[in-house]
Structure 1
Amino acid sequence: MVTHYKCPNCGSDMAFDSESGKLSCPSCGRQEDIETFPPENIELTVETDEAKEYHCENCGAVLLTEAETTATHCSFCGAPVVLSDRLTGDFAPAKVIPFSVSREEAEAAFRKWTGKGRLSPRGFMSGDRIKKMTGMYVPFWLYDIDGSAEVAAVATRTRSYTTGDTIYTETEFYDVYRDIDLSYLKVPADASEKMDDLLMDKLEPYDYQELKDFRMPYLAGYLSEKYDYDDESLFSRVESKIVPYIDAYIATTISGYSTVSYTNKQIHAHKKQAYYTLFPVWMVYYDFENKEHTFAMNGQTGKVVGKPPISGAKVAGWFIGIAGGAFALMKAAAYLVGGVLW
């Protein structure tokens, strides 16, 4: 099922406006509050025929999409469309963080970011080689996790003192035990097979105060995908992120000792709840030196992540500058102490 949001005034296609947070008509300027917008009349069944043809209701063109796509644009007339039947049943998101960075703001922020790369080639820093910028909602799971740890250790405290001409070292031994319970809320993990996990992780943090109950008009005008991995499949990755935090917390509870040797350490993370959520991401494709570079921008905060190219000449100049500065300091120090440095 293809959903278009038509303007009640002029009949134009409406799209989500990141600045106002409303469904907006680009033709007459009418805006609709998404929270009070009439709900879609959609049969709550999961579409199992991934090869099903979709047609644009504006021009009748066939919509060519991948199986994971849930919102896109008609490639012929440009109308924003939502593939409603791919957002129902198990694939119905619970929450969404709407876009708050517009395309114009995203382009300006990206150009500013490229200019900060001190070791990037000069041509890259201009920020004028954006090939394509795509706003898309990336599927994530947000986990509420109960963490626990049982720890046993032998700790020591050592002190030294002098009596007469003799130095004494006194060591006290302690048996340490900790039974710890911790809770973590809304730990994210992207659920798209296409997205680089490290790139998506670096986009954090998102402001969860802006989480909204999911409504399909938020997707109008953007691309969106449904998840490739369910919450069970991703939990091991989330657990690997949480365990180091629990381990670090354990260390803060065993302080004031000279040494700590663990005899037992068992750390567990248990999934309490998982929310299927869509996060806003601007994907930036940048041409430089006959190569396409991919960057991502947090569509809520404007944070940019990715690896810009490095200029070999700038790196060499940086090292020469460091070495020259160090040599000048050494020569000045030698002069002050009366020495000679050639």
Structure 2
Amino acid sequence: MKATIERATLLKSLGHVQSVVERRNTIPILSNVLIEAREDNSIRLMATDLDLQVDESVPANVDQPGATTVPAHTLFDIVRKLPEGSQVELDVAEGKMHLSAGRSRFHLSTLPRDDFPVISEGELPTKFELPAATLRQIIDKTRFAISSEETRYYLMGIFLHVADDQLKAAATDGHRLARVVMPKPDGADGMPDVIIPRKCVAELRKLLEEVEGTVEVSLSPTKVRFGLGSAVLTSKLIDGTFPDYNRVIPTANDKLLKLDPKTFASGVDRVSTIASEKTRAVKMSVDRDKVTLSVSSPESGTATEELPADYGSDTIEIGFNARYLLDILGEIEGDTVEVHLADAAAPTLLRENDKSNALYVLMPMRV
């Protein structure tokens, strides 16, 4: 194999694929990236952790087609440190990859291409397209609520399903819930309910940074594939049943509080400075046209802040985890956030307004 490729092109593509590779691997080949020089003057780069795979083709000058695998993180670090604008020559001979750029020379150990595992997708009967901007919004508005508790593995991803002629995405960790709805895309009829794993969501979001236009989504009950221009991301899905989250979305919260989300977030952030790391609890005392935020910590002292608000119901005191509240407020884009309250023990509903495609549910804390 012999090929020449521009440093910037190689670095960008390696950046996409190498982040899939785990830093510690018991299987040596999984630490490597597959590099395949093709006759059509392109280089294909691929990396996998057996659950997730990124595959990308980039233009190059190929003198001799061939394929090999080299340590992914090492290669990425080398290319990152090469001079800008340099041409990178890749030459494989006698079990080594010789890499040269300008006056730099590297000789890297390789492992055979035939040992490199590829995720077999099988049939992916459901196929539809989503605008990249829509997919970014789905991820941003839900992923903070993904659980990290391995005992509840079925909550460790974003639940994507079709219901009521809409495509719905939801994530919850038992303390908060985020849900986004949008019109059902063409081709999503009969789509199976799927849970997209946290790592796949993170890698997909990185790749979406550079994608304009649409993303091709193909899936089966066990696998999902995202076509993102020159890159293809394939992932296994979480094999589990996502709970019926509709049951925790309150419908009878009759106390409506309206605030400016940025002012609200700043106030919560300030008073929570002295909250204990363990509980992060902040108390909200809601009265006519004002909210008083307070934190009391045995170690640090107390803090209070008063915020103007639009509220006309009975006085209520309720506590929340400050970090969870800030995560939600960070995704409210408008000038107003609606906080629908019932009592100090009931789940609270937050959203921009009744036309917003995103809603959030937050469980209160005792304070």
The reply to whether TM is greater than 0.5 is no
> TM (normalized to structure 1)?
0.22
Q: Tell me which protein shows more strand as a share of its residues.
A: 2
Higher RCO structure (Cα 8 Å, ≥6 apart):
1
> TM (normalized to structure 2)?
0.20
